């Protein structure tokens, strides 16, 4: 999953970025709204984490502009504004969740997972796919009752397929889910991760459409 973080506090921004990356997601971190607008224009993000007080403007105005243009990208507000009226304003502006600073990073990870599941149309964290039982909240998988350990990158890649069952995903789309703008990506990175997922989850779990990309198989 690719996440845009809009936060001007260097210490908090670095902590959130590292947490998201540790969860296996790709994260692009900007500190200004103009940079955020450029990022959204240049890439498809699965989620935006938005501070409300930025050096070049207010996050609520930015959010209202996104929604007015028809942008439905999920948005979680991260802010020190903790009054009930502030929360109401944020949710009415189109935010999907509202997290008050300081917050626990593990809670942020849980909120991110919850919002993304709602947008994927499956708020239930337990998913069954063939012989696999998948707990999206706990980020755990059992195959025929036995636990399967995935790395953070492997999980993020598998989650990308689960969120788009049956859809063809190109190599470039998958790279976007796993890596930020400035990341160096080896040419065979996706192939390596797909091969490892097949060994762990089943040879048919991911189907290759030669020259086009990959799609979720039957497991």
Residue pair 65/40 in contact by the 8 Å Cβ criterion: no
CA distance between the termini of the chain = 21
Bridge pairing between strands 97-100 and 75-79: parallel
Q: What domains are defined for the chain?
A: 2-119 (3.40.50.2300), 126-216 (1.10.10.10)
**Would you write out the chain's pLDDT as a tens digit for each of its 219 residues?**
889 999 999 999 999 999 998 888 889 999 999 999 999 998 889 899 999 999 999 999 999 999 999 898 999 999 999 899 999 999 999 999 999 999 999 999 999 988 887 766 655 667 888 899 988 777 889 998 899 999 888 988 898 888 788 889 999 888 887 776 656 667 788 999 999 999 999 999 999 998 899 999 876
Task: Quote the pLDDT of residue 156.
Answer: 85
Q: How many residues does the chain have?
A: 219
CA distance 63 to 77: 10
Each residue of 108-151: pLDDT tens digit? 999 998 888 776 665 566 788 889 998 877 788 999 889 999 98
What is the predicted pLDDT for the residue at 123? 58
Distance from C-alpha of 137 to C-alpha of 125, rounded to nearest angstrom: 5
Helix H segments across 69-216? 84-92, 105-119, 152-162, 171-178, 189-201
Name the residue among 63, 113, 119 with its Cα closest to residue 86: 63
Residue 173, pLDDT score: 85
Which pTM was predicted? 0.69
φ and ψ of 138, to 5 deg: -85, -10
């Amino acid at each position: 999953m690719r996440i845009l973080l809009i936060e001007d506090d260097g210490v908090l921004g670095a902590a959130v970025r590292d947490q998201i990356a540790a969860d296996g997601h790709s994260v692009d971190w900007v500190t200004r709204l103009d940079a955020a607008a450029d990022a959204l224009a240049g890439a498809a993000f699965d989620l935006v984490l938005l501070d409300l007080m930025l050096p070049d403007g207010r996050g609520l105005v930015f959010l209202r502009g996104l929604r007015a243009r028809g942008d439905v990208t999920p948005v979680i507000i991260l802010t020190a504004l903790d009054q009930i009226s502030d929360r109401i304003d944020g949710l009415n502006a189109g935010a999907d969740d509202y997290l008050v600073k300081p917050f626990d990073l593990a809670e942020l990870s849980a909120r991110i997972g919850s919002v993304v599941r709602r947008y994927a149309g499956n708020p239930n964290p337990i998913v069954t796919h063939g012989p696999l039982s998948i707990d999206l909240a706990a980020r755990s998988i059992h195959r025929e009752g036995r636990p399967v350990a995935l790395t953070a990158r492997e999980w993020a890649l598998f989650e990308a397929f689960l969120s788009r069952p049956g859809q063809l995903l190109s190599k470039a789309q998958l790279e976007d889910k796993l890596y930020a703008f400035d990341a160096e990506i080896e040419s065979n990175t996706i192939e390596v991760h797909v091969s490892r997922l097949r060994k762990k989850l089943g040879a048919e779990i991911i189907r290759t459409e030669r020259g086009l990309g990959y799609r979720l198989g039957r497991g």
